[in-house]
Structure 1
Amino acid sequence: MDGMSEVSEVSAEQWRVWRSFYAMRRQLDRALENQLQTDSAISSADYEILLAIFESTEKRLRSRDLAERIGWEKSRISHQVSRMTARGLLNRTECEDDLRGTWVEITAEGRRATLGAMRGHTRAIREFFFDVLDERELAALLSVSDKVLAAVAPAPCDPA
């Protein structure tokens, strides 16, 4: 028995699928990151935060809500927001109703950066992703994505 089969119940074909998927995901992330850096001089982390706040009703989110919305740890949010605040993309203000809470607000410069990034980012997503898949493949990918997300998503809290 080879070492790989002793470690897992994953077939050689399944490993091939996994490695291909993993490489595709990493290369797509890298291509989209490069596009944002080249076209807009912002990182994908910047864009993710800017877009979440830009799409919010009040153009601001509490730090904890921002962390929950994009699935980051609070400490990562804090560090990234600090860097973006120093660059003039965001402002932090204290919550009036909760002295422990902080609002993260998008600035005029942050709005310009977001709007500037959106067109190129959308074009890159279309070029690298949607244009290379047909409708059947997209439907299959949606189904696969939903199944994997359901398998890895934390169980909802029991309110009882």
Structure 2
Amino acid sequence: MPTEIEIKVIKALSAIEVPPTLALTIEGWGNEAVTVLCEAALGTYPGLRQKIRTNAVALLGWMTHPQAMETVRMLINDSNEDIAIRAMRSSGRQKNDGTTDQLQALLSKSETSPLLAAEAVQSLINNGSVKARAVLTQYAGQSPETLPHRRNALVQELLNKMQH
């Protein structure tokens, strides 16, 4: 049987539009509610609709709760590209330096898709830490011959904006 807080959080995540303010509401419900949100983002609950999971991942970006930040770190390399992208966006919004090494590893793989590379770059730009900027500087110096995603127009545009 689901607990009252599980029902409350899952019901809130089931809305068509989930405003960022819901993150603060869930935090206000306590640590158990944050845990339910993190578990939903991780896909722990069987039979949960994909939309609920993606809403949960997106909401994590509006939280600085340690469990939310750790969950985002765990989702950066999710096998579902939509979840990984939302985790990257959440990481940038959180200014979560705990994901910087993972984003760097993603950018150093030649097989990374241009879309994931662009999202990783944007996440690091939004993070803005010294470590994130160092990763971006190193990535900007990489050859498109070695890393094909470096020649993607969006990736180049993001890197050019960063340098100005």
The TM-score with structure 2 as length reference comes to 0.27
> Which structure ranks higher in relative contact order (CA pairs < 8 Å, sequence separation ≥ 6)?
1
The structure with the largest alpha-carbon Rg is 1
What TM-score do you get using the length of structure 1 for normalisation? Answer: 0.27
Point out the structure with the larger strand share: 1
